[in-house]
Every structure is written in C-alpha cells, then in structure tokens.
Homo-oligomer: A and B are copies of this chain.
Amino acid sequence: MDLGLRGVLAPVLTPLTPDLQPDLPRMVEHARWLLEHGCHGLVVFGTTGEATSFAVEERMAVVDGLLQAGLPGDRLLVGTGCPSIQDTATLSAHAVRSGCAGVLVLPPYYYKDVDDQGLFRAYATTIERVGDPRLRMVLYHIPQVSHVDLSLDLIARLVESFPETVIGIKDSSGDWAHLKALLERFPGFGIFTGTERFLLPTLRHGGAGTICAPANVLPQSLRTLCDRWETPEAESLQAQITWLRDLLATLQVPAIPGLKALVAQRTGHEGWLRVRPPLLSLSSEQRERLQAAVAGRKPQAEEGGALHRVWTEHRP
C-alpha cells in the first residue's frame, strides 16, 4: 500500500488577501504552475503553507476550492496535524472524503515530553475516528519546530498496527543520520526528505522523494534530479538545488516570506508578500536584496542567473 505519489511534492505557499484570508484564485494559479513545472504532487497546508495559522474551516475551504478549480485530488496530500486529535480527525476525514491522495500528520505539538505510548494513542485514535479504509497517512517529523520527536520504535509500531494506513513519513529533521536510519529500517516505506540537499542520497537509499519549501520556486530543478538520479549528472543536478536555501540563509531572510517574495517577483502579484502573524513579511530592504540576488543582477550570482532562466522560460 502506498500513496501513489513519489518524487517532488511542493508544500504550496498560501497567498493571502489584504485581510489575511487565503486567496484562493491566486493559490489555484500557483498550484497549477507547480504541477505544470515538474511537481509530481502538492502538499496543501504544510509548515511552508502556514497550516497552523489557519482555522479548521479555513483549511477545509481551501481544499474544497482547489478541487473545485479542477486540481487533481490524487496528486494532493493535505497537512492535517493539529494539537487536538479531534481537529486532526476532522481535517483528515475531510481530505479522504474529498478524494485527496493522503494526509501529512504532525504529532499533537503542544504538550512536550509525552512518551511514545501517548503519541501512539494520538495517531491511533485519529485513525480510528476517521474510520475510512481509504486513509493514507504520511507522518510528519519536524522536531526543531514541533519539539515532539517521532522515534523509530513509534513509527515501527504504527506501521505494524496500521499497515494499510501509515504508509510514509516526511523527515524534516535536517539530520542525515536520522534520515538514513529511517531509510535503512523501513525499506519500501514512503520516505520523503524535507531537506532538498538530501534528495539524491534519499533516492539512492530507496526513498520516495522530497517535500521541500524551495519546490515552490525551483520545481524543475528538483524534478530533473528525480528523473536523472541514476545518471552521471546526478551529483551536479543535486548541487543545483541547494543554492536557494543557502542564499536565504546568507541573506538572513526567513524561508516562508522569502519564498513568497520570490513568487511575488515571478507573478508580479504583490499580494504574495503577505503572511499571517506570527510570521512577518520581509522588510522592503530584505526583499530588494533577495530579489536582486535571484534576478542575477549581481555578477557573482550564478545561481540567480539559473533561477532567472527558469522563470523566463516558464513565465505564462
């Protein structure tokens, strides 16, 4: 049993209207662009999509809206993990009933130092409450944000108890040793790296692919690596997808508003600059530095040049 999705899944950024509601038409446009430019699938409401900043009803309305606009449910994974298993079950049941491929599920992330048995009960109760054999669940491990660890033993127990349902994990730990341990212990499990610099080794170890924020901007480069990871070009293709996150770090630009600023640059829509509190939009100074860097205006910005070419080729 698997998700029916491998390769590059973009965790779609969520554009906002002036009153900070999801801007559905603009999101549909971006989601289509991502699928047209190489993504095998999309994650709606991951960390990058500011999932936790939206109410349950807002989140369901966006999923409904994307499907009504014709985006293919079988290519959508929906982030549904909330502090309350009641909310997680509501969102997960909605995604399954709507025909989405699966759900990406954070552990309940308010209480800390809960033990594996508590987390097992949280996932198990959620699965029982959804009560739908079509449910496909990808676990979501992002300990530096959630401050809740999913241990290998917990994963093993979930897979053993719900083999038809618990079919993968997104590992955003940023720790290759941990990702490698997952790949070695769970062969055939749908393991996605949240860290694009581990994409090639993930594929070489039998992993499923990547769900990573830069896919919002670099879908083609990621897709090319997924298509050619067994060729001699693989190492150089891997090298071409790591520059964006490095650039954000070098410029000290936070990833979510930074990537939104790049989508604003590509589309010409200023609305893309908005984020919901507690996140902040970039300052105009940050934005100018970032946009200048990627537009290849600085002679040393070889990567910016590459990005600029992608955009030039694919601007609608």
Contact size class for A? 35 or more
CA A87 – CA B83 in complex, angstroms? 13
Copies of the chain in the assembly: 2
A144 within 8 A of B: yes
Bound-complex Cα distance A31 to B280 (A): 40
Tell whether A300 is near chain B: CB-to-CB under 8 Å: no
A107 within 8 A of B: yes
Closest to A144 in B: B112
- Given known A20-B125, A110-B109, contact A90–B278 (CB-CB < 8 A): no
Q: Is A247 positioned at the interface, with any CB of B under 8 Å from its CB?
A: no
When the two chains form their complex, are residues B121 and A55 in contact, meaning their CB atoms are under 8 A apart? no
Determine which residue in A112, A144, A276 has the highest number of CB atoms from chain B within 10 A of its CB, and name it: A276
Instruction: Tell me the smallest distance from the CB of A8 to a CB of chain B, in Å.
Output: 24
**Bound CA–CA A20/B147 (angstroms):** 25
Chain A, residues 275-293, CB within 8 Å of chain B (1/0): the string is 0111110000000000000
Contact bitstring A25-60, B, C-beta under 8 A = 1, else 0: 000000000000000000000010000111110100
- By the criterion CB–CB under 8 Å, are B277 and A87 in contact? no
Q: Within 8 Å of chain B (Cβ to Cβ): is A145?
A: yes
Contacts of A122 in B (CB 8 A): 277-278
B20:A277 contact, CB within 8 angstroms: no
Q: Determine whether the beta carbon of A278 is less than 8 Å from that of B55.
A: no
Query: Which residues between 95 and 118 of chain A lie within 8 Å of chain B, taking CB atoms?
Result: 107-112, 114-115, 117-118
Chain A 43-80: CB-based contact to B (< 8 A → 1; otherwise 0): 00001000011111010000000000000000000000
Complexed CA–CA distance, A124 and B86 (Å): 28
- Cβ of A161 within 8 Å of any chain B Cβ, yes or no, is no
On whether A278 and B118 interact (CB within 8 A), knowing A20-B125, A84-B52, the answer reads: yes
In the complex, whether A191 has a CB less than 8 A from a CB of chain B is no
Contact check, B53 vs A56: say whether CB atoms are below 8 A apart: no
Q: Quick one: closest B residue to A21, CB to CB?
A: B86
Of all chain B residues, which has the CB nearest A119? B278
Residue A85, interface by CB 8 Å: yes
What's the least CB distance linking A113 to chain B, in Å?
9
Q: Which residue of B lies closest to A108 (CB)?
A: B278
Closest B residue to A114 using CB positions: B278
Please state if A277 and B53 are interface contacts (CB–CB under 8 Å): no
Q: Are B53 and A84 within 8 A (Cβ)?
A: yes
Is there contact, CB below 8 Å, between A125 and B277? yes
Chain B neighbourhood of A20, CB < 8 A: 125
Residues facing B in A104-152 (CB within 8 A) are 107-112, 114-115, 117-119, 121-122, 124-125, 144-148
* A interface residues with partner B (beta carbon < 8 Å): 20, 47, 52-56, 58, 83-87, 90, 107-112, 114-115, 117-119, 121-122, 124-125, 144-148, 276-280
Given A54-B84, A84-B276, A118-B279, 16 new contacts (CB under 8 A) = A47-B110, A52-B111, A53-B83, A53-B84, A53-B86, A53-B110, A55-B56, A108-B277, A108-B278, A112-B145, A114-B279, A117-B280, A118-B278, A121-B277, A122-B278, A125-B277
